[in-house]
Amino acid sequence: MPRHSRVKSKTNIYHVMSRALNKQLLFDEEIDYIRYLQILNNVKKEFGLIIYAYCLMSNHVHIVLKDSKNELSKAIRRLNSIYAMYYNKKNIRTGYVFSDRFKSESIETKEYLLTCIRYVHRNPVKAGICKRANQYKFTSIHAYKSESGNYLKLVNVRPVLKLFNNGDFLKWNDEESDEQCMDITFNKLSDAEVIRELLNIAKLKKINDFRKLDEPVKMIMILKMIDRGIPMMQLSRITGIYYSKIQKLKKGQNGKIVGLTYFN
């Protein structure tokens, strides 16, 4: 089928989404997320982009940006191709990393700009990874919390914060909403696929073998699955571990369980 032309935004502001090929992961570990943001920062400078929001999920990426030079396609292709080269080299693999071309939608009003930003920030909440938007690490909401949270000064927060009283923006991001924007199906893995992934991480053959592990070992495996973007509710169903217990996990720098609440 022929590809449709992208809708040109009168404001040059867009919500962009790129996703991995065949449900595979885009980010295997923390350094991958960081590298993607570094590449995005370089592309931002090269093409004169203004970044208003982003969220890096395990198998897809959302970015809200302004494309002042009308080179959106070229900029995102550059971003994704450079990351794909990095990912393939790091993992000693070849082939495509991203699925087809990226998707985009135009943003024409301040109201819809705010809607998209909240939608992007609440992606991890919608996916069941966390309860609050600011509990997810690789999202621009931390740039809106503090200057030190604005990694590489990647995000221009001023235009958005001007529309809110002090502190109200963060509260607004935590409000329940049914916003869809450029909604996608979350490439959720089936229970059988998640079980295979869990057994692969734990180096086991059967799910019953996992259930026989010591509690701390099981919880470390669960944390690794959460890092891969697997919803907590699905992990609870598969492993038989209470959902409330999984929600209370917290991981220290050494990967060990140190207390309540998974995210810092």
Quickly name the fold that domain 13-173 has. Alpha-Beta Plaits (3.30.70)
Q: Which pLDDT belongs to residue 241?
A: 85
Domain edges within the chain: 13-173, 191-259
In this structure, the strands spanning 250-251 and 257-259 are antiparallel
3-state secondary structure at position 81: helix
Q: Which pLDDT belongs to residue 117?
A: 95
Alpha carbon distance 264, 260 (integer Å): 10
Helices then strands (H, E): number in the chain? 12, 6
Q: For residue range 122-152, what is the model confidence (pLDDT) as tens digits?
A: 999 888 888 889 999 999 999 999 999 999 9
Contact 175, 119 (CB under 8 A): no
Q: Which pLDDT belongs to residue 248?
A: 72
User: Which pLDDT tens digits describe the chain residue by residue (264 residues)?
Assistant: 345 567 789 999 999 999 998 778 899 889 999 999 999 999 999 999 999 999 999 889 999 999 999 999 999 999 999 999 999 999 998 889 998 789 999 999 998 999 999 999 999 988 888 888 999 999 999 999 999 999 999 999 999 999 887 678 988 998 877 677 775 444 467 788 889 889 998 899 998 899 889 888 888 888 888 777 777 777 888 888 877 777 777 555 444 444 433 333
Name, in order, each residue with C-beta under 8 angstroms of 214's C-beta and a sequence gap of 6 or more.
none
Q: Which pLDDT belongs to residue 257?
A: 44
Q: Which pLDDT belongs to residue 259?
A: 43
Q: Which pLDDT belongs to residue 129?
A: 84
Q: Which pLDDT belongs to residue 263?
A: 33
Q: Which pLDDT belongs to residue 183?
A: 53
**pTM recorded for the entire structure:** 0.70
**H or E element: which one contains 43?**
helix 30-47
